[in-house]
Every structure is written in structure tokens, then in C-alpha cells.
Amino acid sequence: MPLRHVGLAILVAALWGCNFVAIRWGLDAYPPLLLIALRFAISAAPVLIVPRPAIPWPRLLILSLFMFVLQFAFLFAGMELGMTPGMASILMQSQAFLTPAFAMIALGERVTARQLAGGAVALAGLALVAATVDASMTLVGFVLTLAAAASWAVGNVMQKSIGPVDRFALTLWLSVVPPIPALLASLALEGDPLGPILATGWRDLGALIYLAIVSTWFGYVAWGRLLSLYPVAMVSPYALLIPIFGMASSALVFGERFGIERLAGAALVMLGVAIATLSFRRRG
């Protein structure tokens, strides 16, 4: 992978790491299903001037179901029911191990020994970081967050199987699917949405813009582009960097503190990503 694409993958990981702070702020203002509806209503707005990619509607609907609807319904509900931003950013990275496994089954991609070794090192780092989290964690929050990671992994594999398409247009049209079912479910399960919407403050609006524009438009377009160019087993390990940025942003915003064990775990995550994704060739 060229250095510019390595940098792009790291930038996406940084933006998605900070995304968990925006999610926490968003959930402080809106219930989970309403937050999904508002986020994707904003991110879908340009479809009025952007043509739909040449992808059949059934395939588009299924991809959006896993990539956007289920992933964020599980994640937002999990964070509402006991998952902190830092812990959620760690657990979501189980997708980095689920994605190559699903790709091997669905696409016949080969997972190399180096990728397995890097994944094992990074997994050890995630386990070390997770073991140092002090906040309480509910079982339902844990299960829902893992379900969100599995949905993300399925979406990664489906994106890879689509082939070359306009990634910005694809992201916009995938965003068309979640708002209506999320809003209907919110009306049925969460009550009248007008109260939270009318009470929206500047921080709430900033969180929505970050989720809709920065995380969805830029993040998913760039990530989808990388998945279209390289095997998923080469791209997905970069998502293991997300907890590093998630912990750093949580420390800055919420005052979370980290000990030597957590820093050591972060170092193992970065080492595992390097082993799994970078090419080490002797020169001479």
C-alpha cells in the first residue's frame, strides 16, 4: 500500500476514533433511533443532485441495512445502555478480525500468516486495553456493540464485492435508506421526536454535522475507496487504530486517564497493524 493510502487509512481511523465523542454528545441530546434518522437525513441530502450508482436497489438496500442501519442501531443502543465511548471504540474493532474471516468465506480471499500474526498481536493489545477500563459495562451493551462490529464487517465484505463505483455517490444513496425506518421506529419506541429536535443546541448540532459529514461522507467514502483497491485483510487492520484516537479524544473531552498498561496495549495495537499491513522488504 503506498504511503499516501497508509496516511489516508490512519486519517480515517483518527476521525472515526473522535466519532465516539460525537456519538456520546448526540445521545445526550437525542434517543438512539432518532439520532440515526437525523444523522442520515443530513448525509443523504445531496442525492437530489447526485445520480444513483449503477447498483440494483435490492443490493443497495441490503448493503445499507448492514453498513448503516444495523451497525448504528446496535452501536447507539449499546452506548445508551451502558457502553462508554472508550470501551465502544475498543469493542468495535473486533470487525478487524471478523472482516477477513467473512471475506475468506464469501470472497475466497486468502489470509496470510503475517496477517494472522499481526492480528494476534493487535488482539493482545486490545485485550490489555480493555482490561484497564474502569467504567462499568452492562452485558446487553457488550452484546449490542459486538453485534454492531459484526454488521460493519459484513458491510465491508459487501463493499468489496461491489467493485469500482463512485464512492461518494454510493455513500449518499446508502444514507437514503436509514432515516424513514429509523424515524418510524423512534416514533413507536421512543415517543415524540419534536421535543429533542426543538431543544437542539450548538453542541448537539455540531455532533450531528460531525456524524453526517465528517464521519459518513469523508470516512466512508475514503474507507470504501481503500477497500476497492486492496484486500479487506490489508485495509481492515487499520481500524484497530481507532481505539487509540478514541481514548485520546475521550481523555481530552471527558477527562479519562490512562495508565501504563493501557499505553502498552495501544503500542501493541499499532505494532500489530504494522505487522499485518506494511511490507517489510530488504533492500540491497
Predicted pLDDT of residue 243:
81
Judge whether 238 lies within some domain: yes
Judge whether 284 lies within some domain: no
Overall domain count for the chain: 1
Pairwise CA distance, residues 223 & 156, whole Å: 9
Pairwise CA distance, residues 159 & 167, whole Å: 10
Say if residues 201 and 29 touch (Cβ distance below 8 Å): yes
Q: At 237, which amino acid appears?
A: P
Judge whether 179 lies within some domain: yes
DSSP 97: H
Residue among 85, 13, 90, 145 nearest 265 (CA): 90
Judge whether 209 lies within some domain: yes
Judge whether 86 lies within some domain: yes
Predicted pLDDT of residue 25:
94
Q: At 119, which amino acid appears?
A: G
pTM score: 0.79
Reading the chain (284 residues) residue by residue, the pLDDT tens digits are: 788 888 999 999 999 999 989 999 999 999 999 999 999 999 998 888 888 888 888 999 999 999 999 999 999 999 888 777 877 887 787 777 777 778 888 777 777 787 788 778 878 887 887 776 655 567 788 889 889 989 988 988 887 777 677 878 888 899 999 999 999 999 998 988 888 898 888 999 999 999 999 988 888 888 888 887 888 778 877 877 888 888 888 888 877 666 787 778 778 877 877 787 665 444 44
Cell reading at 42: 443530513
Predicted pLDDT of residue 283:
42
Judge whether 283 lies within some domain: no
Helix (H) or strand (E) holding 227: helix 221-229
Say if residues 13 and 239 touch (Cβ distance below 8 Å): yes
Q: CA distances (Å), 241 to each of 98, 159, 219, in order?
A: 16, 21, 14
Judge whether 18 lies within some domain: yes
Judge whether 110 lies within some domain: yes
Q: Domain of 183?
A: 3-277
Neighbours of 127 (CB within 10 A): 12
